[in-house]
Amino acid sequence: MKNLTIGIDLGGTTITAGLVDGEGRILAQKTCPTALPRPASEVERTMAEMCAELVKQAGLKLDELEGVGIGTPGSVDGESGIVAFNPNFGYERWALAAAMERRLGCAYPVRIENDANAAAYGEYCAGAAKGHNSAVVITLGTGIGGGIILNGKIWSGFNGAGAEVGHTVIVKDGEPCTCGRRGCWERYASSRALVARGARAMADHPESSLWQLAGSPEKLNAKKIFDALHGGDALARELFEEWIGYVSCGVINLVNIFQPEVICVGGGVSRQGEVLLEPIRQALERENFARNLFRHTQVRSCVLYNEAGLIGAAYLARAR
Amino acid sequence: MKNLTIGIDLGGTTITAGLVDGEGRILAQKTCPTALPRPASEVERTMAEMCAELVKQAGLKLDELEGVGIGTPGSVDGESGIVAFNPNFGYERWALAAAMERRLGCAYPVRIENDANAAAYGEYCAGAAKGHNSAVVITLGTGIGGGIILNGKIWSGFNGAGAEVGHTVIVKDGEPCTCGRRGCWERYASSRALVARGARAMADHPESSLWQLAGSPEKLNAKKIFDALHGGDALARELFEEWIGYVSCGVINLVNIFQPEVICVGGGVSRQGEVLLEPIRQALERENFARNLFRHTQVRSCVLYNEAGLIGAAYLARAR
């Protein structure tokens, strides 16, 4: 077996490592708790052990791999292999790539990237944007994550901190954001924002089926709002239409800036598929600056879900 | 003399062509009226004649040049050399590069780009962003133009229509824009927006020195608002602070997306220099998502002004 790499998705709670083939298929996978807080060296050791186990079980040696890639939270300088800033882990200027190269003792370099960028790269190489030259991937979740691939390469800024599309203001002087700005896109268009708006609205709408579906505002989630929408609930329809207007607004902003071949929408809500995508496409037909041109950006759902980061990291290991 | 190219800035009113050396210096320059409306073939002929005259006066022949580049309004597909959409000229799918190659009869390809992108490329190659790897150039004028250079290359989207940073919404459901959206950045942060706001405000402020400086609201321009600001006029101060808040908001959006090495601010108002740049820098210190990192985007004024497009086009001719 040739052309195998290991991709690692280093999360705040869990580390997932997978042996991935040249077509982006995960042949074997391992998961360990990240077990924070603990020193960087211990997290590195855990990752190195996971790599060793994965290759051993496959009857291989580490230097028979094509490479190892890691997606990590924080601002990553891919060139130097340093995680410059990773507040959740508490590490500063973490020389992650060099540390892992030392531990693995291999000829190939270990490639690292920000986790959202790695996930976008996964969708680009083996998912919703496969075969295209440019893509912007947005992930609607607690916040809004972004990944930008242009001419086949991740663009994350000269300092590795770019693609923070969730922290672009679409409502000047609007709701305060955790980032210190007001009116950021993610305050209005993340799935958390949809749920928060719904939970507040329930009090004024005792007739809404959200009460039966969720029991109480505290137990509301995005899935239940979509269930109520499909059941014909008026409040859910109102919540959805307001929210999708905000989602579309930010998507059109990105299209007018990048005119990428593909915009991929990820996160749990993207499982709603066309329900989500069709209103975005309609808004683009009205407002895309390039709507009179022959070639338009396509809007698609992400397809790799939780595996995107691992698969993207595995492809990064190959992208020298 | 070696390494000479011709750059052409094709405008709706004027065509400017210049013979440019390897350091971005304009050695000779010609200007002709565009004289619209007239057929594309006649505009091409004029440009070809201008090229012939420029080289003749320099004692050269056309095939002693390194190349010819053209910055043109409209959506440009640089690969195919076609201007896909250029509403002001009234040409559709104009195969400009091929037509000019035929007329010039030279061995080198003619390179074409959108005029705003060409101007940004000029600042990148020979102006405010010289020596850097990435830059976003914004031009505050009637609207807000943009140009994006990443890894030394212009990014204008897969269809050539990207970098329309002026048409990103920063005030959801705000003022109607010519593009069909509401609340676009350029409705609030262009120099025209500053002047329009000032002209409306004058009626309520008979005490303002803007009346002495401009005579009437119709004769107000950005320069007069800055003159009043420097003279201590309270209304001008208020107008400036509101406007620079909008400018900064959009600049920070672009920084959070791109984290470029440099943001260059152009257009007539950029002659104000630090008066304009310092408040933007202060806003970035508060709101840049990467403010805790060691390396931050620099904010600078454009330096090439009206010559940026011509010089950028001349460099494009070299950028094979």
Which of A148, A171, A259 shows the shortest C-beta gap to B158?
A259
* Chain A residue numbers touching B156 (CB-CB < 8 A): 259
**Residue in chain A nearest B171 by alpha carbon:** A171
* Chain B residue numbers touching A156 (CB-CB < 8 A): 259
- Can you give the pLDDT at residue A81? 92
Q: If residue A131 lies in a helix (H) or strand (E), which one and from where to where? A: none
* B260/A84 Cβ within 8 A: no
Give the residues across from A91 on adjacent strands.
A86
Task: Please state the ipTM of this predicted complex.
Answer: 0.95
* A133/B157 Cβ within 8 A: no
* B257/A257 Cβ within 8 A: yes
Q: How large is the average pLDDT for residues A95-106?
A: 95
**Residue in chain A nearest B133 by alpha carbon:** A158
Residue position matching structure tokens 């137990």: A219
In whole angstroms, give the CA distance from residue A27 to residue B213. Answer: 74
B177, pLDDT greater than 90 = yes
Which of B84, B161, B259 shows the shortest C-beta gap to A289?
B161
Q: What angle do CA B280, A259, B87 make, to 5 degrees?
A: 95
Q: How large is the average pLDDT for residues B287-299?
A: 92
- pLDDT tens digits, one per residue of B213-246: 999 999 999 999 999 999 999 999 999 999 999 9
- Can you give the pLDDT at residue B79? 83
Residue B173, Ramachandran bin (φ over 0: left; ψ between -120 and 50: alpha; else beta): left
* Chain A residue numbers touching B146 (CB-CB < 8 A): 257
* A84/B258 Cβ within 8 A: no
- pLDDT tens digits, one per residue of A245-281: 999 999 999 999 999 999 999 999 999 999 999 999 9
Residue among B168, B171, B263 with most chain A CBs within 10 A, to mutate: B168
Q: How large is the average pLDDT for residues A280-308?
A: 95
Average pLDDT, chain A: 95
CA A265 to chain centre: 9
* B259/A161 Cβ within 8 A: yes
- For residue A272 the two structure tokens come to 């709603």
Q: Is the peptide bond before B37 cis (omega within 30 degrees of 0)?
A: yes
B78, pLDDT greater than 90 = no
- Can you give the pLDDT at residue A88? 82
> Do residues B188 and B171 lie in contact, with contact meaning Cβ atoms separated by under 8 Å?
yes
Size of interface A-B (CB pairs under 8 A): 138
In whole angstroms, give the CA distance from residue B80 to residue B200. Answer: 46
Nearest CA distance, A176 vs chain B (angstrom): 12
* A290/B169 Cβ within 8 A: no
At B217 the three-state DSSP class reads: helix
A294, pLDDT greater than 90 = no
* A75/B293 Cβ within 8 A: yes
Four-point Cα dihedral B248, B249, B251, B257, nearest 10: 150
- Can you give the pLDDT at residue B5? 97
- Can you give the pLDDT at residue B87? 77
- Can you give the pLDDT at residue B40? 96
Enter the pTM of the model: 0.95
Q: Which residues contact A303 (CB under 8 A, 6 or more apart)?
A: A123, A127, A128
Q: How large is the average pLDDT for residues A202-218?
A: 97
How many other C-beta atoms are found inside a 10 Å radius of the C-beta of residue A288? 24
Nearest CA distance, A296 vs chain B (angstrom): 8
* Chain A residue numbers touching B155 (CB-CB < 8 A): 150, 258
List Cα–Cα distances, B120 to B129, B131, B293, in angstroms.
9, 14, 27
**Residue in chain B nearest A133 by alpha carbon:** B158
**Residue in chain A nearest B257 by alpha carbon:** A163
Q: How large is the average pLDDT for residues B137-155?
A: 96
* Chain A residue numbers touching B162 (CB-CB < 8 A): 256-259
- pLDDT tens digits, one per residue of A9-49: 999 999 999 999 999 999 999 999 999 999 999 999 999 99
List Cα–Cα distances, B80 to B47, B75, B84, B93, B96, in angstroms.
19, 12, 10, 11, 9
A213, pLDDT greater than 90 = yes
* Chain A residue numbers touching B161 (CB-CB < 8 A): 259, 289-290, 293
- For residue B30 the two structure tokens come to 């010609």
CA B186 to chain centre: 14
Q: Tell me, what amino acid is at A293?
A: L
End-to-end CA separation in angstroms for chain B? 20
Nearest CA distance, B262 vs chain A (angstrom): 10
Q: Which residues contact B188 (CB under 8 A, 6 or more apart)?
A: A172, B170, B171, B174, B175, B243, B246
When pLDDT is cut at 50, 70 and 90, the band that residue A1 belongs to is low
